[in-house]
Amino acid sequence: MSQQLWTEKYRPKTVDDVVHQEEVVNALKNSLQEGNLPHLLFYGPPGNGKTSTATAIAKQLFGPELYKSRVLELNASDERGINVIRTKVKQFAQTAVSENPPSKGKYPCPPFKIIILDEADSMTVDAQSALRRTMETYSSVTRFILICNYVSRIIDPITSRCAKFRFKPLDNTLLKERLQMIADKEGITLQDSKVLDRVVSHSEGDMRKAITTLQSASRMFGFSIAEKHIVEISGTVPEELIVNILKLSKEQDVNVIKKEVERVIKQGYAAYQIINQLANYILSDHCEVKLDDLQKSKILLKIASCDKCLIDGADELLQLLSLVSFMAQTAGVDSDGDVSMY
């Protein structure tokens, strides 16, 4: 079994290797053939190939020899302030480059450098304003590739200077095919089809997260992986526990509710994970609790309120108690003995 990170080992090496982003790939291939690249802005959900595409572009333009000297990679979530733009980015951007490097015959080697700014939506507004001025001033010798999840967090003066490309969420079938290919190459046996279903569900469309989960499971449990192994390492709450929390909605004894909620918290599960999975379960087709659309909407509104409180630093036990108590206040049992909400 390889000790190398699988996310790096199976990262796309060229733009053609990027899957499920046909429109983006076709547009970029034309720019690569001409060796003339505009400022680029890649946006979309995490783990769907934005950073891999950016690095593949740079490697296809400059080759391995010039990559380190011609390409600057920064993660804007770590270096998000204006000082980074004024120092590190500006110093790299203003440096001129040779028009006839040794690799000119093998690769296009255009006469400019590339700065890849990952998670650019984490940058402060002041830093983005400084970046806009840098992009304008040094556009003749430097091209920028900005990568973000939320394009709405990038100021208009920057977006207007970039060619924007939206990266679509990856299809679950595509995720499973890729994971199965990796498992086969690494000699990993998946005990049943539910293993990949669980990995894909946990990753929420994030290929990087899915591959990391699979590799973590292989390192902890060896060459044969079962669904329970994925549950153990992913930190997800078992579905039985989610169902039990929902069934507390028919319980009218506050002491029983308090005791059960405390038991759940003591097991070490994060409250935000519980309520997020609870929301997904309520919306799923296999939810065991009968709820109409109005009832679901009321519960989901309460879940959203609790989620906001948790983000603001509220106590996990109190928020989970608040949610379950809310459901219990409006819960009843129908004539068949099934839980219903009214």
pLDDT digits (tens, 9 = 90+) for 245-290: 888 877 767 888 888 888 888 888 889 889 999 998 888 888 777 7
The per-residue pLDDT for 115 is: 94
User: Per-residue pLDDT for 337 more than 50?
Assistant: no
- Calculate Rg over the CA atoms of the chain: 25
CATH code linked to domain 6-166: 3.40.50.300
User: Per-residue pLDDT for 235 more than 90?
Assistant: no
Report the mean per-residue pLDDT for the chain. 86
Closest by CA to 49, choosing from 74, 12, 23, is: 12
User: Per-residue pLDDT for 22 more than 80?
Assistant: yes
The per-residue pLDDT for 268 is: 86
Q: Sorting pLDDT into bands at 50, 70 and 90, what band is 240?
A: confident
3-class DSSP state for residue 171? coil
The per-residue pLDDT for 291 is: 75
When mean pLDDT is compared across 75-79, 242-246, 274-278, 334-338, the lowest value belongs to 334-338
Q: Residue 38: which residues within 8 A CB-CB, separation 6 or more?
A: 31, 143, 162, 163
Q: Sorting pLDDT into bands at 50, 70 and 90, what band is 87?
A: confident
User: Per-residue pLDDT for 44 more than 90?
Assistant: yes
Percent share of the chain, pLDDT over 70: 92
Q: Sorting pLDDT into bands at 50, 70 and 90, what band is 333?
A: very low
Q: Sorting pLDDT into bands at 50, 70 and 90, what band is 331?
A: low
- C-alpha 179/C-alpha 194 separation (Å) is 13
CATH topology of domain 239-341: Zinc Finger, Delta Prime; domain 3 (1.20.272)
Q: Find the helix packing angle between 194-203 and 227-234, rounded to 10°.
A: 20
- C-alpha 37/C-alpha 205 separation (Å) is 29
- C-alpha 32/C-alpha 228 separation (Å) is 45
pLDDT digits (tens, 9 = 90+) for 139-195: 989 999 999 999 999 999 999 999 999 999 888 999 999 999 999 999 999 998 889
The per-residue pLDDT for 335 is: 31
User: Per-residue pLDDT for 103 more than 80?
Assistant: no
CATH code linked to domain 172-234: 1.10.8.60
What DSSP line would sit under 7-37, residue for residue?
A: HHHTS-SSGGG--S-HHHHHHHHHHHHHT--
Domain spans of the chain? Answer: 6-166, 172-234, 239-341
- C-alpha 320/C-alpha 303 separation (Å) is 9
